[in-house]
Amino acid sequence: MTQDLLGLTIEELKQFATEMGEKPFRGKQLFVWINRGVSDFDEMTDLPASFRQALKEHACIGHATVLRMQSDHKDGTKKFLFGFGSSGDTEEKGSLDAAEAVFMKYKYGNTLCVSSQIGCRMGCRFCASALGGFKRNLTPAEMLSQVLTAENVTGEPINHIVIMGMGEPFDNYDSVSKFLKLLHDPAGKNMSYRNMTVSTSGIIPGIRRFAEDFPQAGLAISLHRMTDEGRSAIMPINRKYPLEDLLAAARDYTQITGRRITFEYALIRGENDREEDVALLKKRLQGMLCHVNLIPLNKVEESGMTGSSRKRAEAIAEELGRGGISATVRRELGSEIDGACGQLRLRQIKD
């Protein structure tokens, strides 16, 4: 049986090397090569030739396959549809074993928006990820392969990670946790936890666990509405974890970590961008260590919703600022490509 080595920790690779009759330190050498994006054992030149031959016979390094890629020539954004395993284009329609990632360029470095699941079961009305249904969780190896493959394709290093792609990260907590630790390992990508942000729709046990496990990492919570009735109508998760409990968990998070929390607020014209909505947003976040990221909603035909104008978004940011709440309007990246999470996978399924 062939052992896939991608996504294994140093300790796991040391154990594998020992089982192959090698010294444990060979496992660490393997880890370094794998996390550099090397998948050809012959390129691992500090390994003995006999070990490299045994690896070719008994092991492999899995990787994501680029099924589609869209590029925005104005700002360098690239959106990937990654296939995993042997899925390719052979999946039945509606069951594509693929997920999306978005490469974005900023002044402070390159960020990859990573998916944690294929599809999503949260059922948010405005999100394209849920339209194709939930298929499965991604493994730590499949999340790591998004990073390594994106680096290989772009030829550029990835300095920051946001787990804001397809799926709900806290619905796949253990795999997300291992992925973050793999990125952080000094022998691998050596990425600071401060350069990692995880976004949740509001799974409170995950928020509390994350605060304890990763106090240096960033947390973003999708709010979008500020009443239980309104939020439950577009985000069914609110029925299980109501808004008041969610905001209490957010306050606890800031006290435990000392870090500012980000609230994502997708602006939907006529639904959550009215003056009364802004007033309630200010009232409920008053005094909290937070930042509001205002997002003019990407158009998803199937949702029947329309995003607010950028001008309206900027006016809301100014109003929040006057109320003492830090707020910005998300920079528009990838305007030439399918911007919303799940759109590219949905297009592939339809095609």
Q: Do 69 and 48 reside in the same domain of the chain?
A: no
Kindly name the residue from 120, 124, 127, 341 that is annotated as catalytic: 341
Biggest distance spanned by C-alpha atoms of the chain: 70
CA–CA separation, 301 and 7 (whole Å): 37
* Chain-centre distance for alpha carbon 300: 19
Please give the sequence-ordered ranges of beta strands (E in DSSP) within the chain, or none if there are none: 3-4, 59-60, 65-71, 78-83, 98-106, 109-113, 117-118, 136-137, 160-163, 196-200, 218-222, 261-267, 290-296, 326-329
Q: Do 32 and 73 reside in the same domain of the chain?
A: no
pLDDT for res 75: 83
Residue 192 belongs to a domain with what CATH number?
3.20.20.70
Q: Do 97 and 154 reside in the same domain of the chain?
A: yes
Q: Do 212 and 233 reside in the same domain of the chain?
A: yes
Q: Do 184 and 113 reside in the same domain of the chain?
A: yes
Q: Do 112 and 247 reside in the same domain of the chain?
A: yes
Residue 52 belongs to a domain with what CATH number?
1.10.150.530
Q: Looking up tokens 């799940």, which residue turns up?
A: 342
pLDDT for res 172: 98
pLDDT for res 223: 95
pLDDT for res 331: 76
pLDDT for res 85: 72
Tally the domains of the chain: 2
Sign of torsion over alpha carbons 286, 288, 289, 295: negative
Q: Do 219 and 240 reside in the same domain of the chain?
A: yes
Token pair, residue 267, equals: 């602006």
Element (H, E) at 77: none
Kindly name the residue from 100, 142, 151, 271 that is annotated as catalytic: 100
pLDDT for res 133: 79
pLDDT for res 81: 95
pLDDT for res 335: 53
CA–CA separation, 296 and 307 (whole Å): 5
Q: Do 43 and 151 reside in the same domain of the chain?
A: no
Domain that holds residue 166: 65-350
Q: Do 123 and 50 reside in the same domain of the chain?
A: no
Q: Do 55 and 157 reside in the same domain of the chain?
A: no
pLDDT for res 76: 87
Token pair, residue 294, equals: 């205002």
Q: Is 100 part of the annotated catalytic residue set?
A: yes
* Chain-centre distance for alpha carbon 70: 18
98-106 and 78-83 strand pairing = antiparallel
Q: Is 341 part of the annotated catalytic residue set?
A: yes
Mean pLDDT of each 10-residue bin along the chain, 351 residues long: 94 98 98 96 97 96 94 89 65 67 93 95 81 88 97 96 96 98 97 98 98 98 96 95 98 97 93 94 96 82 72 95 94 56 47 46
pLDDT for res 195: 98
pLDDT for res 330: 85
pLDDT for res 304: 63
